[in-house]
Structure 1
């Protein structure tokens, strides 16, 4: 049976952490470990986590150096186990109780055991409105993330050789994905599922600082994809306009809430 390491990073988001936990414990597929990396929260999360008496939970609460330092701690723990790792941060949720079951079945039925699995997802706005989003083909990785990282499953043996790079403060997940897929056989070892796998909380730091993140993306594409300057800056312009439109819609959504 396929094992999943579900890594949850948290810092002062107790309400979101509880939602994430509920989406995990409702799963019909029971072969998983919930790995929580809490950054010494002071909003009651540490106390709440201390009351969880669950053999499937691996909980750490300590000071860290930021989001990707915490995600690296989770990566190390998750990839030390067999199977696959998913990064489901506090506030994010698995789409429904059958997600792990469906992903496990797809892995077991694949002709070639995949090293990377991903699928569709929903975005959740600050007013809790859900927006359906579809994953892009892996060969479009140069454009940006093919899906949200909460809808991505990384094979642990290969994942254990990588880390989130600490020189990227907002887009280290994009960089890690590029390095991960550069090390596998595409598309043979990649499995895209045409169904929603998660609900991504849009109120996270990377979304709030989206304009800074797309600047990091330019550097990542140049460094790891060797993309030409012309293509890189055309993409930068398109992403900038898209982010601006999203920020306007988000402001409208917030006023309507």
Structure 2
């Protein structure tokens, strides 16, 4: 089972070295490593050329953004599964691929594990993803690309990452596969990679863009109204207003937190079953 590891880099030689070292150290060797560099000028190219015999494919040229670079890697990949390990992300230890190998089987579309999240001051925690993923999961968060093995043929079937989205295209892809297309997935209870806080999608300056892009994707696929998708439990008044938009003939009275949790699930279900009105 061949794994295609795709690493994109732009002027992060230190991060690139850490990422590649974690790949080189793997005891499982049935992988190809693809490097997509965005014409770095910080010495990254020197590092790539020094280790070029360890890379199946590499290129250094300008790109139009993160997802454009990731798509370049996808088009070069030959593996059964693809793992995006971008510059600065590292595999948790040298046995990650060996632990995952038996779970990478042809009838599973997505295989994902956990992430170790490390803060700027060195503190960290395990981000454990649930074994069952639904619409409500994607209202809050997404799978970590560095912890998710994606069957390569899915990109042939559904297309590569959208480049009109600047920071949530991987979220949109996972959302489409799981919520819309009902593709299969498997959770394995092991830490796959280390993710360092401070990336593009975690920067506070991108919070509003993050919300707007996610809302855009949801509204493209569901007949929903202007919902605050970041809140799982909202006030009685907000629940009343939203539910009335779905079914104005029903008078709804919410009375307690437990009922709000139930109602939140119902709202998620409504969103899940509504048919697309736009192609």
- Residue in 2 that maps onto 1:248: none
Question: How many residue pairs were aligned?
Answer: 228
- Residue in 2 that maps onto 1:194: 189
Q: Trace 1:137-156 onto structure 2 (pairs within 5 A).
A: 137-139=132-134, 140-156=136-152
Counterpart CA distance in 1 for 2:27 and 2:16 is: 20
Q: Secondary structure at the match of 1:218?
A: helix
Q: Secondary structure at the match of 2:5?
A: strand
Unaligned runs of 5+ in 1: 240-257
Q: Does 1:88 align with 2:88?
A: no
- Residue in 2 that maps onto 1:5: 4
State whether residues 115 and 184 of structure 1, in contact with CA within 8 Å, keep that contact through their aligned partners in structure 2.
no
- Residue in 2 that maps onto 1:40: 39
Counterpart CA distance in 1 for 2:218 and 2:180 is: 16
State whether residues 215 and 236 of structure 1, in contact with CA within 8 Å, keep that contact through their aligned partners in structure 2.
no
Q: Does 1:228 align with 2:227?
A: no
Counterpart CA distance in 2 for 1:238 and 1:210 is: 21
Q: Secondary structure at the match of 2:86?
A: coil
CA RMSD of aligned residues (A): 2.1
- Residue in 2 that maps onto 1:213: 210
Give the alignment's TM-score, normalised by structure 1.
Answer: 0.81
Unaligned runs of 5+ in 2: 234-279
How much does 1:56 deviate? 4.1
State whether residues 11 and 41 of structure 2, in contact with CA within 8 Å, keep that contact through their aligned partners in structure 1.
yes
- Residue in 1 that maps onto 2:126: 132
- Residue in 2 that maps onto 1:167: 164
Counterpart CA distance in 2 for 1:56 and 1:183 is: 35
Counterpart CA distance in 1 for 2:129 and 2:206 is: 19
How much does 1:219 deviate? 1.3
- Residue in 2 that maps onto 1:123: 117
Give the alignment's TM-score, normalised by structure 2.
Answer: 0.75
- Residue in 2 that maps onto 1:244: none
How much does 1:95 deviate? 1.1
State whether residues 3 and 30 of structure 2, in contact with CA within 8 Å, keep that contact through their aligned partners in structure 1.
yes
Counterpart CA distance in 2 for 1:227 and 1:106 is: 37
Structure 1 54/127 Cα, relative in aligned 2: closer, same or farther at 3 Å?
Answer: farther
Cα shift readout 1:175-226 (whole Å, capped 9, x = no counterpart): 122233357544xx211111211111212112114412122111112223x1
- Residue in 2 that maps onto 1:107: 104
